[in-house]
Structure 1
Amino acid sequence: MTDYTALGNAIKTTLQNDTWVGNNVQTIEIHKRGFSIQDEKDAQYFSKEDLPAIAVIPNSGAKQQEIQTTNEIRETVPAQIVTVNQMRNAQTGIEENLLIVKNIERILDKQKSSTNNLGIDAFVQSVSTTDEQFKKGEYYYFISTTTAQIEITIPF
């Protein structure tokens, strides 16, 4: 059975340990599936002081399982990393958002081998990002969702 708490913590720790993220992102939190930053209520979940922020959702969709050996199961779990920032200037805001996403993808791309993994017998298979933006009041809010397919080997 997948330990989503351990997976969320592994992704969060991997991101926090990167110097660039540490210097440029204010907040990294773990959220549960169903968290939607697009809802008006959830867009306010991060205060202005928290931004730019990253929300890690370790169980963002259905997992796939297959038996590897007589005592191991390989699971593929989609995890989402949602980047949120705000700016008064649209161009500056999108540039900041895309720079954060670029660095998230760089960090996760490094975790694609069993020798350089997330530290819990899990490694990243693939990474992709979708970008969105919306305006609320006098600020532009920028939201990007990076989805990582995580492969986890679980002994039983």
Structure 2
Amino acid sequence: MIKSYHAEHTCIMSKKNTEATSNWIAKKLVSVLKDHPKMTSKGIVVEMLKFGVNPSKMQVYRARQKAFEEIEGSYGASYAKLPKYAELVRNHNPGSICKIHCDLPNLIMKEPRFLRIFISFKAQKDGFQAGCRPFIGFDGCHLKDLLVVFF
């Protein structure tokens, strides 16, 4: 049984919410950061105030990193797709060259580490060869002592 009711609320409301983790904040930020990828940390704090949460700077930093990883994917997953991409280039563009150089795995590294990739499409190679004039080059010889006859 309610004996008295006071309509005015007098306690102080705290915006610090310990239940709001960087994972939860990241889930809320994904849709916002897709539209505004250059949003600053102050903008993220303002966005979170709509949910009644005042996150710390570190929470904002971690949440932003996690949200971008959700949107764009991780670097490791992208590098793992390179061999498949190289195979597709070779299959769909015959005559092209696609080489990937990686560190060889050892006891410490379980997977090879990407170093560099070289791609030369057949059309580029043919265009370069068709557009270049042939030339004769000498390397490491003294031209004043050499008699070269061109026919």
- Normalising by structure 1, we get a TM-score of 0.24
- Normalising by structure 2, we get a TM-score of 0.25
Larger RCO (CA within 8 A; separation ≥ 6)? 1
As a proportion of its length, which structure holds more helix? Answer: 2
